[in-house]
A and B are shown apart, each in its own frame.
Chain A
Amino acid sequence: MPGSTPASATAELARAEAPRWFSAIGDFVHQRPLGAIGAAIVLVMVALAATAGWLAPYDPLETDYGAMLAAPDAKHWLGTDAFGRDVLSRIVYGSRTALMVGLGASLLGAVFGSLIGVASAYFGGRVDLIVQRVMDVFFAFPVIILALAVVAVLGTGAGNVILAIAAPMIPRCARVVRASALAVREMPYVDAARAAGYGHRRIILRHMLPNVMAPILIMATAFLGEAILLEASLSFLGLGVQEPTAAWGLMLRGAAVQFAESAPWMAIFPGLAISLAVFGFNLFGDSLRDALDPRLRTQ
């Protein structure tokens, strides 16, 4: 803070706390308008998920056979599906499934991926070589094929879908984090930690991991959107989250395609929800990457 003496600095800081917080958001919105839009979409989605029970006009599982395939009107804003379930309510509740699977899978993928990546870089030599070869094997599978294989082993359902989506993400995260960790390993403070006699675990967790947080964060946000998309794909195939749970991909399955012509709202709105959510996470993640990765900073 220019012009402030050290003595008054603390008081000034306390006073400036709230406005500075606001101006930080203001700066972000000003400098990265796309990122701000993304953040806004993400926030709306989190708010939807948190208040679904209060916000949704109907119970997402409640069937109304008197109002099957009803077109959007004042009663059902986005129409109803083949069981007479309110599409809007199912989309609102579906945000919970998407967020849960997305967050769960990217967290799992990022945690295990970065641990493997950092450990591989730290130990180097033969360990690194073997880990890299194993990662190569996983890389040779298309993401969805690997996820399908894991679902075949574990079975369907939200919990297993999280594992199935995290599985292909682990090697991807490990590779990126390893590359950053290789540079960190050469830092004097890692040598110092080793000279001080710290154990491997302490050096990896306390000294190296915090210094590769930026790429991990970037990977994790990039995964989030991808995980939501993968969950939708698996559910659409009938191999993900199971009925009657409200999930966007599941809503596009079966009747939505079958009655697409007479009841297009069933096919349009859940897909719109998926796209918008992934769009928000990607925009936000992109700006985060630009902000955290100095190489990508323009000018």
Chain B
Amino acid sequence: MARYILKRLLAMIPTLLGVAILIFLLLRVVPGDVVEARFMTQGSQFLSQELMDIERKKLGLDQPMWQQFTTWMGGLARLDFGVSMWTGGAIGEEIKLRFALSLQLALMASTIATLLAIPLGILAAVKQDTWVDYTVRVFSIAGLATPSFWLGILMILTMLTVFKWVPPMVFTPFWVNPWENLAQLIWPALAVGYRYSAVGTRMMRSAMLEVLREDYIRTARAKGLWLKLILTRHALKNAILPVLTVISLEFAFLLGGLVVTEQVFNLNGLGMLFVEAISRRDYTLTQALVMLVATIFLLVNFFVDIAYAWLDPRIRYS
């Protein structure tokens, strides 16, 4: 097991290196750079080549690409993300604030998704091909079809017209004022959680259907066990793994991929930061964000695999 864990961890390095090379090159193909972007926003009419060259030299953009890349890699190896090309502030600090918000939102949305998916999936499987099953399926497919940003707009609109109340639009960290914090984040978490529960519900339903046809379930039924007991003790244990996998893998993407929902709810999360960074051609910040999200994705993947081996004794890795 220890060897397997080590092997898996080491296997992450080439993938991360690939991600690094990809985003590094992709950014440099994007027309314009941070210096041009800044002169543009200032509306400066004196776009002198000289001035731009001086700026570029300051940021190290005049160096050859391989040198820029090795400098960046050297920093990453020491867990030093460097400084933002736009603000000049340390990237670690810039990300820290946004990360707390995105992490909390992703956690809340995943919890909501799990709480919806597991009971609904079981219900649909047990009542397969009845109107209950159809209702659950329509509900979950509708969740998948509804853009969470539109759901967010509708939520705000409803609260505004019915309750004459809008959720707070300024982020308050949980430890400062938990009530205020939850009053703001519960809505985007619901909008996103509903959407992501759909994948889990469908997975739960099909996994449950498969398990319910197993011989040992028939045995349990023949013994005259309660359906409730069979479902919770016998079936759920075997059907839940793929559902938890799907939801945890989505979790990794929720961290950096909620760009549009963040926009609707005026949240300054990692997604908005990414859009900002890329539009400003802030290479260092964009690279750092991509590496962060990719690392978390790989780590979640890794933990899911380990958890599988731990939870399911039939799976053994060598």
Contact = CB atoms under 8 A, between A and B. Distances in A.
A269 B199 CA distance: 25
Interface string A148-166: 1100110100000000000
B4 interface: no
Contact of B15 (A137, A239, A278, A283): A137
A232 B260 CA distance: 10
B29 A140 contact: no
B290 A145 contact: yes
B157 interface: yes
B128 interface: yes
Given A136-B18, A298-B129, A142 B256 contact: yes
A16 to B, nearest CB: 30
Interface in A236-280: 236-237, 239, 249, 252, 256-257, 260-261, 264, 267-268, 271, 274-279
A298 B23 CA distance: 44
Interface in B124-165: 128-129, 134, 137-138, 141-142, 144-147, 149-150, 153-154, 156-157, 160-161
Contacts of A229: 145, 147
Contacts of B271: 144
Contacts of B30: 152-153
B157 A232 contact: no
B260 A233 contact: yes
A257 B160 CA distance: 12
B150 A275 contact: yes
Interface string A19-62: 00000000000000110000000000000000000000000000
Size bin of chain B's contact surface: 35 or more
Given A148-B275, A260-B156, A274 B150 contact: yes
Interface stretch (B68-76, B220-228, B236-244, B292-300): B292-300
A271 B15 contact: no
Given A148-B275, A237-B260, A264-B157, A282 B206 contact: no
A53 B297 CA distance: 46
Contacts of B156: 260
Contacts of B263: 236-237
Given A142-B253, A142-B256, A282 B19 contact: no
B293 A261 contact: no
A236 B260 contact: yes
A144 B260 contact: yes
Contacts of B257: 142-145
A134 interface: yes
A261 B160 CA distance: 7
B103 interface: no
B209 interface: yes
Contacts of A189: none
B265 to A, nearest CB: 11
Contact of A134 (B18, B31, B206): B18
Contacts of B128: 298
Contacts of A237: 259-260, 263, 275
B256 A267 contact: no
A286 B161 CA distance: 37
B110 to A, nearest CB: 14
B278 interface: yes
A225 interface: yes
Contact of B290 (A141, A257, A275, A282): A141
A278 B145 contact: yes
A144 B259 contact: yes
B264 interface: yes
Nearest to B272: A237
Given A140-B16, A144-B257, A148-B259, 11 more contacts: A141-B290, A149-B278, A152-B279, A153-B29, A225-B145, A229-B145, A236-B147, A260-B153, A274-B150, A279-B141, A296-B206
7 closest A-B pairs by CB: A142-B257, A271-B150, A137-B18, A278-B145, A279-B145, A140-B294, A142-B253
29 contacts: A137-B15, A137-B19, A138-B22, A139-B297, A141-B293, A144-B271, A145-B257, A145-B259, A145-B293, A148-B278, A149-B278, A155-B31, A229-B145, A233-B147, A236-B147, A236-B149, A249-B147, A252-B149, A257-B264, A261-B160, A261-B161, A267-B150, A267-B154, A268-B157, A279-B141, A279-B142, A282-B141, A282-B145, A296-B206
Interface of B: 14-16, 18-19, 22-23, 26, 29-31, 128-129, 134, 137-138, 141-142, 144-147, 149-150, 153-154, 156-157, 160-161, 206, 209, 253, 256-257, 259-260, 263-264, 271, 274-275, 278-279, 290, 293-294, 297-298
